[in-house]
Amino acid sequence: MLIVCTGNVCRSAYASRALQGRLAALAPGRVEVGSAGSQPNQALTVPPPLVRLGAEAGVTGLEGHRPAALQPFMVAEADLVLAAAQEHMRFALQEVPQAVARVFTVLELAALVRAMDQRDGRDWIPAGRGVRAFAAEAA
């Protein structure tokens, strides 16, 4: 799974670390979450106030995070790409258009999950099928 924003020092950095922590508790070793930016500045780090807020919320690893540039192979290999905004989704899809069924904004995916939850009561994520099956069902 990949989370994308602009600079990869705030939104995607925090979200990826928080989600990785939650998934590690639920499914240890089964899901890897990374992050990248469409326009990262390698000289920046996660702002200290965000590191503190993360620590208070149990999100670890922000102090050592370094921004990474979004690369086509990252989008191609990810089972699911979550974009902070439409511009990040467009950027990812310009790089790898064939990933269209696996790239969503966070808000789009939230709306899709709500819609899937309201369907006929069947399980919409088949057990053991993983993140790519989840993305396919959402698409």
SS (H, E, C) 61-81: CHHHCCCCECCHHHHHHCCCE
Nearest to 35 by CA among 56, 60, 5, 77: 5
DSSP secondary structure letter of residue 118 = T
Instruction: Please say if the pLDDT value at position 125 is more than 70.
Output: no
Instruction: Please say if the pLDDT value at position 64 is more than 90.
Output: yes
Place of tokens 């699911």: 80
20 vs 114: which has the higher pLDDT = 20
Query: What percent of the chain stands above pLDDT 90?
Result: 71
Distance of CA 56 to the CA centre of its chain: 21
Mean residue pLDDT of the chain comes to: 91
Tell me, what's the pLDDT at 66?
Answer: 96
Instruction: Please say if the pLDDT value at position 107 is more than 90.
Output: yes
Angle between the N-to-C axes of helices 106-117 and 130-138, in degrees from 0 to 180, rounded to the nearest 10:
80
Q: What is the CATH number of the domain that holds 130?
A: 3.40.50.2300
Q: What is the pLDDT of residues 5-27, one digit of tens each?
A: 999 999 999 999 999 999 888 88
Place of tokens 């006929």: 120
Number of folded domains that form the chain: 1
Rg (alpha carbons) of the chain, rounded to whole number: 15
Question: Is-contact 33 16, C-beta < 8 A?
Answer: yes
Burial class (CB in 10 A: 0-12, 13-18, 19+), 34: middle
Average pLDDT of span 93-100: 95
Q: Where in the sequence is the domain holding 59, given as residue range(s)?
A: 2-138
